[in-house]
A and B are shown apart, each in its own frame.
Chain A
Amino acid sequence: EVQVVESGGGLVQPGGSLRLSCVSSRLTLNNYYVNWVRQAPGKGLEWVGRTKNKEVGYTTENAASVKGRFAVSRDESKNSVFLQMNSLKTEDTAVYYCAIEGSSSGPDFIYWGQGSLVTVSS
């Protein structure tokens, strides 16, 4: 069974930083587009950003709501993807999911992690 696991969430003060990690034991993440999707408490899903696969040079893209504050990156040697979150705001409080695209032609996220809770509060 494919497992995707996020880590690194927690409580942080407004203006602070946090880095989330996403790993998989059975998937070679380098071959996939890896996305971050968040869900604020009691709210719907919101795309945060993604890194494309090795074939297209690991290009990254971010949602307008986090551009300039959040950055997606990879460590190829560790089969890991990261979400660096800076200048955090209270409205960034959410469960952050790592989601793997199936076809690289749209948000068909075939694998999801269990989610990592980020709470931004003073």
Chain B
Amino acid sequence: QSVLTQPPSASATPGQRVTISCSGGSSNIGSNYVHWYQQFPGTAPKLLIHSNNQRPSGVPDRFSGSKSGTSVSLAISGLRSDDEADYYCAVWDDSLSGPVFGGGTKLTVL
């Protein structure tokens, strides 16, 4: 059972916009920066969004992050077939004194 709650799956058609949520509590999302990762099967995760809403160099602006209270969302607009992957949120947890990950959301592009 993850400290952070993500929907196990999400789906949309090419060109659409999809959002993936991640909810936590006051000791993690409520008080620290949240980061998002994209992972394709058999490969290492890749940092997609850092510090709630910042894109690392090379990440398209189709990807965006937002935060409200103890929840965050990852939005992907202009969905493409190669966006099909697993997405994870991650944040430091003050109570656990370590980082925690969401359970992951498998995005399917229909």
Residues of B within 8 A of A107 (CB): 35, 90-92, 99, 101
Minimal Cβ-Cβ distance residue in A for B99: A107
**In the complex the two chains form, is B50's CB within 8 Å of A47's CB?**
no
**In the complex the two chains form, is A106's CB within 8 Å of B44's CB?**
no
Given contacts A102-B50, A113-B44, A115-B44, contact A108 B104 (CB under 8 A): no
* Number of cross-chain contacts by CB at 8 Å: 64
A42-57: which have CB < 8 Å to B?
Answer: 44-47
Q: Does B63 contact A (CB under 8 A)?
A: no
Cα-based distance from A73 to B51 in the complex (angstroms): 27
User: How many residues of chain B are within 8 Å of chain A by beta carbon?
Assistant: 26
Residues of B within 8 A of A64 (CB): 96
Given contacts A44-B2, A44-B104, A61-B97, contact A108 B35 (CB under 8 A): yes
**In the complex the two chains form, is B35's CB within 8 Å of A47's CB?**
no
Residues of B within 8 A of A45 (CB): 37, 45, 88, 90, 101, 104
Binding site for B on A (CB under 8 A): 35, 44-47, 61, 63-64, 97, 102-103, 105-110, 112-115
Binding site for A on B (CB under 8 A): 2, 32-33, 35, 37, 43-47, 50-51, 56, 88, 90-92, 96-104
